[in-house]
Chain A
Amino acid sequence: MNMAGGIPLLLAYAAIICAVMSGAISLFAVRRHPGFLHTGSFLFLFIAGMADVVAGGWALLANLIVTDQLALGLPWLEWHLRLDPLSGFFLVLLGTLVTATSLYGPSYTREYTHGEAPQPLPPLGVFTATFVLGMQMLLLADDALVFMIFWEMMSLSGYFLVVYQHQHAGNRHAAFLYLLLAHVGALVILLAFGVLAAFGGGLTFAQMRAAPLSPLWATLAFAFAFLGFGTKAGMVPLHVWLPDAHPVAPSHISALMSGVMLKMGIYGIIRVSYDLIGEVRWEWGVAMLIVGTASALLGVLYALMQHDLKRLLAYHSIENIGIILMGLGMSMIFLGSGHPLLGTLGLVAALYHTLNHALFKGLLFLGAGAVLYRTHERDLEHMGGLIQRMPVTAFMFLVGSVAISALPPFNGFVSEWLTFQTALQAPALDNGVLRMIMPIAAALLALTGALAAACFVKAFGIAFLGRPRSRHVAHAREVPRGMLLGMGLLAVLCLVLGILPVPMIEAMAPITQLLVHSALPSATAQGWLWLTPVSPDVASYSAPFVMLALILVFGLGYLFLKRGAVPTRRCSPWDCGFGQLNHRMEYTSTAFTQPIRRIFGAVWKVEESVETSTVGVGPIRRVTGINHYLHVQDWSWLKVYLPIGSLVLEAARRIGFIQTGSIHTYLKYSFWTLIFLLWIVSI
């Protein structure tokens, strides 16, 4: 072990041990000391998270590459581990979210012990620990065996976490779908590693890096990696498991899954294509750009139609993964066309958005969990007015909403701005068609961003503003302090990453140096105040100024307008003279998105009907009720998955004839197989 860089690796090991301890506590300290279990397991997770942040941050900032070999695993293949800036970056991401979740978790999981439908807590603790452990180890993996073992550990733990509340059939179906697609993805990833290992002569990443790959095999390896890791990341059309699985998991687990697990897919794509394969080709970038744009647009359009808050957030994860893939695609196009600086810009934009998405998506899921904790309600159509009842949660959720809608001065805006700036450099390319495709992709990204803002106006507005639409929401209280602390941590980070982008980009320079051997000197050349990705004449943005100006306006407004004024009166809102406004007259979530549903109607399968129930006949007929029924379905489910499913079932039916049920037939099978094998061996 390299002692100079030894401390970060030791810290990473300490984090791993803490995760194991957290799981062990959940498993063993069951009946005697339930409080100890609770707090203890989350305490160890907290320490693990902090250790991960420090270890990853150290490796990133100090530009370290530390390798190690553990005498575990197979006799001829030890476990190779490696901590380099890329792993460090993702460890920081993982650690931050684990820390926030461990602050949030103790209060949230009380619902499972003291709530209406009690669940045993140990499985949750154990599988959370193995989930985190899986992710930590796969980031440190330096050979395919370790990687796949812990990838599977992450997926399986995810399954048990999704199916935690297994009493509902819907949860079991969602978990099954998740497991199915996770395994298909893992199989394809294995194929990718297989191609690389075959040419490299071994399973270690070092051997794969040195493997000489012809363009065809490199493209094949990339395609397998893209499909396999993309399934985990949730790109269209391999996304169907996401909107079902993320909502049914416990909310702090949804935050971890959406915030970190999806990013493991992105980590895999970056590791395999930029690091292991090495030479990226621009054609891969085009494919990635197209898939990313489609994911972004379809993700946000499907999210708009949801009125289950957590399902809406899950679809937004698909959208943001699409944006990250767009950044990576543009980076590959530039790198493959011989523009390393611009490729670096795209990579930086994609990595920045990865971190940002983890932060604000984690925050949003924790907020949704807080609402769920107090109101037991996930449906937007039953919420409302929570800004009065749960003011701090509402503020946190607002911060998350503003961040995800890519509005200044928060962090989502910076990464989208960098993505746009990457696309704007398209004129540097020679290929005219590519020069046309990139602006169109950027225009679709703009459409996506605006639709995402509309979706979060809807989500925040219907859930927190207005009047309560049901009784238990009207009596909600604020959540405990631990949950607020967890959300607050992420909210503060969202603001900090938005105001100080330049130090962040400087911090990411080691990653780009490692992967593409180039950095962005011009981005940070003007100091911490100005972000100038290409050059000051081309584009610049100063987030601290924006923040300062907003604070100034508030301050001046308070000084001049509010202080000397007459105190405001309160009265009832404008009701056109009809009087008696109640919550039924407010806009609902479905109503809010009706114009969009009409304009973009071809994107969804919409079944909408209005049923009027009447009483009486003829001139004395009276309407007693009007029911509006709306069902919006995902086309990919109907056009892609159901046909594949029925094809598989049909094929199984056809082959089923070999299962006759008769012992004689089975004995005959064994007999003929034996004869055949003996004959083969003797040749």
Chain B
Amino acid sequence: MELTSLGIYNQAIILFAALVLFTSFAMLAQTRIVQLIFTFAWQGLLLAVVTILVAMVSDHPHLYVSAALTLALKVVLIPWLLYRLSVRLNMNYEAEAIANPSLLLLGGAALVMFSYFIAVPVVHLSGLATRNTIAVSIAVELLGMLIMTTRKTAMAQVIGFMSMENGLFFAAVVSTYGMPLIVELGVAFDVMVASILFGVFFFHLRDSFDSLDVSHLNRLSETNDSLPLQEANGEERP
């Protein structure tokens, strides 16, 4: 259906969906931890706005509750937790080096094309005005997984995981006008508990390996007898 034939609210939904995709790309190439957390907060905010718009267009008032939940958790609580964590771990001024940022971004673009390719049959089934955004939601989810697989610091991986959940939530909102409220509450609580657990995990990781680089976990493998990094202080490790 032509963009011009949709109402202004539906056009706004599509616009914000594109901006959510853009924040995914921004997180993919963002090297600084604190900026990454802020970009994640922005993504949450844009998602909340989309949810409110969908609630206004369709007749599902429970989406307002969803939007409020997203706002509280994804925009305020979790970014604040992660920021506090990074300050306590002295990571807030760090930036990690990405090997090939241009290649990574182009890979992200290829993922978007792939998401479109797999979403085409699904899109034909849906009758909603916002059905084109299903491909974008799949892309956001895949990009979250790409962030998890290509970044080295644990904080970036957590953000990737949260971003995957964002993608799932977005897919639910645009394809079925949201999940049942029970499911949403459950997922939201799970995500919050996960972020707290991640915080605890970070401390353990840092205590064991003195850094948050997850490639250090390699040495836990029994068949892998090569050290990923040279020890800076020459301390002996088993």
Touching chains A and B, CB distance < 8 Å: yes
User: Of the 9-residue stretches B14-22, B112-120, B204-212, which lies at the interface with chain A?
Assistant: B112-120
Q: Does A595 make an interface contact (CB < 8 A)?
A: no
Residues of A within 8 A of B116 (CB): 432-433, 436
Which residues of A from 391 to 438 have beta carbons under 8 Å from B? 432-433, 436
Smallest Cβ-Cβ distance to B116: which chain A residue: A432
Residues of B within 8 A of A436 (CB): 113, 116
Query: Roughly how many angstroms separate A433 CA and B110 CA in the complex, as a whole number?
Result: 11
Q: How close is B142's CB to chain A, nearest CB, in angstroms?
A: 16
Query: Roughly how many angstroms separate A436 CA and B120 CA in the complex, as a whole number?
Result: 14
Query: Roughly how many angstroms separate A433 CA and B119 CA in the complex, as a whole number?
Result: 11
B: number of interface residues (CB 8 Å): 4
Query: Roughly how many angstroms separate A436 CA and B116 CA in the complex, as a whole number?
Result: 10
A-B pairs, top 8 by smallest CB distance, nearest first, are A433-B117, A436-B113, A432-B116, A432-B120, A433-B113, A433-B116, A436-B116, A432-B117
Query: Roughly how many angstroms separate A520 CA and B116 CA in the complex, as a whole number?
Result: 34
Query: Roughly how many angstroms separate A411 CA and B117 CA in the complex, as a whole number?
Result: 38
Query: Roughly how many angstroms separate A60 CA and B16 CA in the complex, as a whole number?
Result: 56
Residues of B within 8 A of A433 (CB): 113, 116-117
Smallest Cβ-Cβ distance to A599: which chain B residue: B102
Tell me the dominant secondary structure on chain B's binding face. helix
Tell me the dominant secondary structure on chain A's binding face. helix
Count how many pairs of residues, one from A and one from B, have CB atoms less than 8 Å apart in the complex.
Answer: 8
Query: Roughly how many angstroms separate A432 CA and B112 CA in the complex, as a whole number?
Result: 12
Residues of A within 8 A of B120 (CB): 432
Residues of A within 8 A of B117 (CB): 432-433
Query: Roughly how many angstroms separate A436 CA and B117 CA in the complex, as a whole number?
Result: 10
Bits for B117-138, please: 1 = Cβ < 8 Å to A, else 0: 1001000000000000000000
Residues of A within 8 A of B113 (CB): 433, 436
Bits for B213-226, please: 1 = Cβ < 8 Å to A, else 0: 00000000000000
Known pairs A433-B117, A436-B113 / 6 extra A-B pairs, C-beta < 8 Å:
A432-B116, A432-B117, A432-B120, A433-B113, A433-B116, A436-B116
Q: How close is B4's CB to chain A, nearest CB, in angstroms?
A: 15
Residues of B within 8 A of A432 (CB): 116-117, 120
Which residues of A from 148 to 173 have beta carbons under 8 Å from B? none
Which residues of B from 77 to 132 have beta carbons under 8 Å from A? 113, 116-117, 120
Query: Roughly how many angstroms separate A252 CA and B117 CA in the complex, as a whole number?
Result: 50
**A–B pairs, 8, beta carbons within 8 Å:** A432-B116, A432-B117, A432-B120, A433-B113, A433-B116, A433-B117, A436-B113, A436-B116
Query: Roughly how many angstroms separate A432 CA and B116 CA in the complex, as a whole number?
Result: 8
Query: Roughly how many angstroms separate A433 CA and B120 CA in the complex, as a whole number?
Result: 10
Smallest Cβ-Cβ distance to A433: which chain B residue: B117
Query: Roughly how many angstroms separate A432 CA and B114 CA in the complex, as a whole number?
Result: 11
Q: How close is B99's CB to chain A, nearest CB, in angstroms?
A: 11
Q: How close is B55's CB to chain A, nearest CB, in angstroms?
A: 29
Query: Roughly how many angstroms separate A432 CA and B113 CA in the complex, as a whole number?
Result: 9
Bits for A665-682, please: 1 = Cβ < 8 Å to B, else 0: 000000000000000000
Smallest Cβ-Cβ distance to B112: which chain A residue: A436
Q: How close is A168's CB to chain B, nearest CB, in angstroms?
A: 41
Smallest Cβ-Cβ distance to B103: which chain A residue: A602
Query: Roughly how many angstroms separate A436 CA and B111 CA in the complex, as a whole number?
Result: 12
Query: Roughly how many angstroms separate A433 CA and B116 CA in the complex, as a whole number?
Result: 8
Query: Roughly how many angstroms separate A433 CA and B117 CA in the complex, as a whole number?
Result: 6
Query: Roughly how many angstroms separate A432 CA and B117 CA in the complex, as a whole number?
Result: 7
Q: How close is A442's CB to chain B, nearest CB, in angstroms?
A: 15
Q: How close is A534's CB to chain B, nearest CB, in angstroms?
A: 21
Query: Roughly how many angstroms separate A432 CA and B132 CA in the complex, as a whole number?
Result: 12
Which residues of A from 429 to 456 have beta carbons under 8 Å from B? 432-433, 436
Q: How close is B110's CB to chain A, nearest CB, in angstroms?
A: 10
Query: Roughly how many angstroms separate A489 CA and B117 CA in the complex, as a whole number?
Result: 51
Bits for A365-409, please: 1 = Cβ < 8 Å to B, else 0: 000000000000000000000000000000000000000000000
Q: How close is A388's CB to chain B, nearest CB, in angstroms?
A: 43
Query: Roughly how many angstroms separate A436 CA and B113 CA in the complex, as a whole number?
Result: 8
Query: Roughly how many angstroms separate A432 CA and B120 CA in the complex, as a whole number?
Result: 8
Query: Roughly how many angstroms separate A436 CA and B112 CA in the complex, as a whole number?
Result: 11
Q: How close is A574's CB to chain B, nearest CB, in angstroms?
A: 37
Query: Roughly how many angstroms separate A432 CA and B121 CA in the complex, as a whole number?
Result: 12
Query: Roughly how many angstroms separate A436 CA and B115 CA in the complex, as a whole number?
Result: 12
Q: How close is B134's CB to chain A, nearest CB, in angstroms?
A: 13
Query: Roughly how many angstroms separate A433 CA and B114 CA in the complex, as a whole number?
Result: 8
Which residues of A from 27 to 63 have beta carbons under 8 Å from B? none
Query: Roughly how many angstroms separate A433 CA and B135 CA in the complex, as a whole number?
Result: 13
Q: How close is B106's CB to chain A, nearest CB, in angstroms?
A: 10
Query: Roughly how many angstroms separate A232 CA and B120 CA in the complex, as a whole number?
Result: 40
Query: Roughly how many angstroms separate A436 CA and B109 CA in the complex, as a whole number?
Result: 11
Query: Roughly how many angstroms separate A436 CA and B114 CA in the complex, as a whole number?
Result: 11
Smallest Cβ-Cβ distance to B120: which chain A residue: A432
Q: How close is A23's CB to chain B, nearest CB, in angstroms?
A: 53
Q: How close is A322's CB to chain B, nearest CB, in angstroms?
A: 20
Query: Roughly how many angstroms separate A10 CA and B113 CA in the complex, as a whole number?
Result: 56
Q: How close is A101's CB to chain B, nearest CB, in angstroms?
A: 44
Which residues of A from 614 to 644 have beta carbons under 8 Å from B? none
Query: Roughly how many angstroms separate A678 CA and B117 CA in the complex, as a whole number?
Result: 60
Q: How close is B219's CB to chain A, nearest CB, in angstroms?
A: 30
Query: Roughly how many angstroms separate A125 CA and B189 CA in the complex, as a whole number?
Result: 86
Query: Roughly how many angstroms separate A436 CA and B135 CA in the complex, as a whole number?
Result: 14
Q: How close is A515's CB to chain B, nearest CB, in angstroms?
A: 32
Q: How close is A603's CB to chain B, nearest CB, in angstroms?
A: 13
Q: How close is A134's CB to chain B, nearest CB, in angstroms?
A: 44
Q: How close is B139's CB to chain A, nearest CB, in angstroms?
A: 13
Smallest Cβ-Cβ distance to A437: which chain B residue: B113
Q: How close is B178's CB to chain A, nearest CB, in angstroms?
A: 27
Q: How close is B147's CB to chain A, nearest CB, in angstroms?
A: 22
Query: Roughly how many angstroms separate A433 CA and B109 CA in the complex, as a whole number?
Result: 12
Q: How close is B133's CB to chain A, nearest CB, in angstroms?
A: 15
Bits for B189-201, please: 1 = Cβ < 8 Å to A, else 0: 0000000000000
Bits for B147-187, please: 1 = Cβ < 8 Å to A, else 0: 00000000000000000000000000000000000000000
Q: How close is A246's CB to chain B, nearest CB, in angstroms?
A: 33
Query: Roughly how many angstroms separate A223 CA and B81 CA in the complex, as a whole number?
Result: 59
Q: How close is A598's CB to chain B, nearest CB, in angstroms?
A: 13
Q: How close is B235's CB to chain A, nearest CB, in angstroms?
A: 37
Query: Roughly how many angstroms separate A433 CA and B115 CA in the complex, as a whole number?
Result: 10
Query: Roughly how many angstroms separate A416 CA and B191 CA in the complex, as a whole number?
Result: 53
Q: How close is A245's CB to chain B, nearest CB, in angstroms?
A: 34
Q: How close is B231's CB to chain A, nearest CB, in angstroms?
A: 31
Q: How close is A75's CB to chain B, nearest CB, in angstroms?
A: 57
Q: How close is B121's CB to chain A, nearest CB, in angstroms?
A: 11
Query: Roughly how many angstroms separate A102 CA and B113 CA in the complex, as a whole number?
Result: 52
Query: Roughly how many angstroms separate A433 CA and B113 CA in the complex, as a whole number?
Result: 7
Smallest Cβ-Cβ distance to B100: which chain A residue: A602
Q: How close is B156's CB to chain A, nearest CB, in angstroms?
A: 24
Which residues of A from 336 to 373 have beta carbons under 8 Å from B? none
